[in-house]
Chains A and B, each alone.
Chain A
Amino acid sequence: MAGALKMKLTRQLLSLTVAAGCLLLPATLWSAEARPQVAKSSCVECHSAFPPPTGVSEAQWAADIHAQKGLSCASCHGGDAKDPSPEGAMSKKAGFRGKPKRTEIPALCAKCHADGAYMRQYNPSLRTDQLAQYRTSVHGKRLAQGDTKVAVCIDCHSVHGIRSAKDTRSTVNPLNVASTCSRCHSDANYMKDYKIKTDQFAGYSASVHHEAMVVRGDLSAPTCTTCHGNHGAAPPGVASVENVCSTCHVFQAQLFDTSPHKAAFAAMGAASCITCHSNHRIVHPTDKFVGTGNEAICTNCHAAGDPGFAAAGRIHDDLVKLDEALKRSAEVLDKAERSGMEVSQARLEEAQGRDSLTKARVTLHSFQPDKVEQDTQAGMKIAAKTYQAGLQALAERDYRRKGLGLTLITILVVLAGLRLYIRQTESKNQSGGS
């Protein structure tokens, strides 16, 4: 046992050191960036004085991961970066290519990025299938047809200041992906030839996913590329929606598969998840989504009299009942806590009641009221118990106040007695003394 423990400890220490090493690695890159140790090139000397698009400042180039890895302007543009004279540096003889055409850019980048052996020298774990993926994307297909308005590598990754995607300042860092995509996709004027909507970014910005990413800082939360792919960006298509969502929402998908909606949606040609939750504007669901009320989504298909309508009503009622029971219990416990009573045990149990509600809200994706009721019933039991505990705490508070009242009465009696005693002895003394 002790040996095993020691082993475990050593292992933990080891993993800690490795983790620390991994943490330090970007830090060293960082410091390299802070003090640019990029090979001097004659190109930047002149081009830093130019206005964009031909202007490239020294700081911008120094931030570029390619510069940091030792590549030069000539790696993409050809020519000779060491030749001090413009004529020499940009001569045809030195292989100067000038500004690459947009249609050439994916292939130019792929010259290195699709070369596994080459990329291994710099970042062995980086994928090398970007070009192949790109060709399957809507962007890639359109580019192949000669549409140069679509995104190529540099539109998303920027140019002359390309940072690693892990860098939070990178245009393709998870935090910035949505706004990078929106540069084109939210521009109605730019997108008007494509006949697609431009409200995706606005929708996403109002979604739970955006909130998880930006407000809660959860970088594993989805952004555009999580569902659409990055290099192979395209809409998932009706049949694949459930697969895409279920990469994270596994449970809901499993339940949905057992539900009557599975076959019904397929027959209607409706995509699974997004039919109820929409695609980009995926807001935080409320219990009103399900049921028969005005805001209920169920009523889009179900009308009074059909069994689905009744089931929706039952599910809604069960959820609301538990929610209200939990709120009532929380209210009583709050009140007890405010009057200084200790209710931490009830609070602990109350959390389990809320678990049941969360679970029931997941279970409803089976669209079987009996299953949902099982969960809500478990929660109702807990809520009833914690509510009782709250009432008991309040009763205890009243008991304290009654005790206090009694004590105060005895104190007042003593005070009155003392007062009388003083008056009596002093009047006696005075009459005796004078």
Chain B
Amino acid sequence: MQVLLGGGLLASAVSFLYPVWRYLVPPVATDLGGDSVVAAKVGELKANSGKIFRFGSRPGLLVRTADGEYRAMSAICTHLNCTVQYRSDVREVWCACHNGFYDLNGRNIAGPPPRPLESYAVHVNGDDVVVSRRRGT
């Protein structure tokens, strides 16, 4: 009886403490994401190029214009939810699915997209290019 009780108590304690111990080990990925996210490092993007980054659970598009300015917007095409990309040859944002075009402010300028892309605010913080959702506009 004592073996049963003692062994049981010990085993259950182990089964309670094991998850706790594993919980205490910090995971490798430490970036949480959020309303603002580090989309790129300064210098990562050449002028006149773009990159897709993860913004919460959706893709975002960070563009560095030919003048070196940063622009960011949602990368989900307003037509049929494809992921858009930056076209350095025409210097516009392009959706490959149905040839929709947006300007660098996210406005739909050609092709089927019915609405502009949501544009995000960008600021450079030290070495990070930080993109955040615009509030209350």
Contact = CB atoms under 8 A, between A and B. Distances in A.
> Is chain B in direct contact with chain A in the complex (CB below 8 A)?
yes
Contact of A410 (B12, B96, B99): B12
Interface in B92-124: 96-99, 110-112, 114
Interface in A209-230: 216, 218, 220-221
A417 B9 contact: yes
Interface in A12-68: none
Given A4-B69, A410-B15, A358 B97 contact: yes
A414 interface: yes
Contact of A348 (B14, B19, B54, B97): B54
B28 interface: no
Contacts of B36: none
B11 A413 contact: yes
Nearest to B124: A1
Interface string B56-69: 01110000000001
Interface string B1-27: 100111111011011100100000000
A156 B11 CA distance: 84
Contacts of B88: none
A415 B11 CA distance: 12
A413 B7 contact: yes
Nearest to A358: B97
B63 to A, nearest CB: 15
A342 to B, nearest CB: 10
Interface residues of B, number: 30
A324 to B, nearest CB: 20
A143 B59 CA distance: 56
Contacts of A94: none
Contacts of B54: 348
Chain A binding surface, main DSSP class: helix
Nearest to B10: A410
A421 B11 contact: no
Contacts of A413: 4, 7-8, 11-12
A127 interface: no
A344 B83 contact: no
Given A220-B114, A355-B83, A414-B9, A362 B97 contact: yes
A414 B12 contact: yes
Contacts of B1: 417, 420-421, 424
Interface stretch (A181-189, A248-256, A295-303): A248-256
Contact of A351 (B6, B19, B81): B81
Interface in A175-222: 216, 218, 220-221
Given A220-B114, A351-B83, A359 B96 contact: yes
A270 B58 CA distance: 44
The interface centre, meaning the residue of A344, A355, A403 with most chain B CB atoms within 10 A of its CB, is A355
A359 B82 contact: yes
Nearest to A416: B4
A252 B99 CA distance: 9
Contacts of B19: 403
Contacts of A347: 57
Contacts of B96: 355, 359
Nearest to A404: B15
A406 interface: yes
Given A352-B83, A421-B1, A416 B8 contact: yes
Contacts of A218: 114
A74 B16 CA distance: 92
B59 A407 contact: no
A287 B2 CA distance: 70
A354 B76 CA distance: 12
Interface of B: 1, 4-9, 11-12, 14-16, 19, 54, 57-59, 69, 80-83, 96-99, 110-112, 114
19 contacts: A218-B114, A248-B112, A250-B99, A251-B99, A344-B57, A348-B54, A351-B81, A355-B96, A358-B80, A359-B96, A362-B97, A407-B16, A410-B15, A414-B5, A414-B9, A416-B4, A418-B5, A420-B4, A420-B5
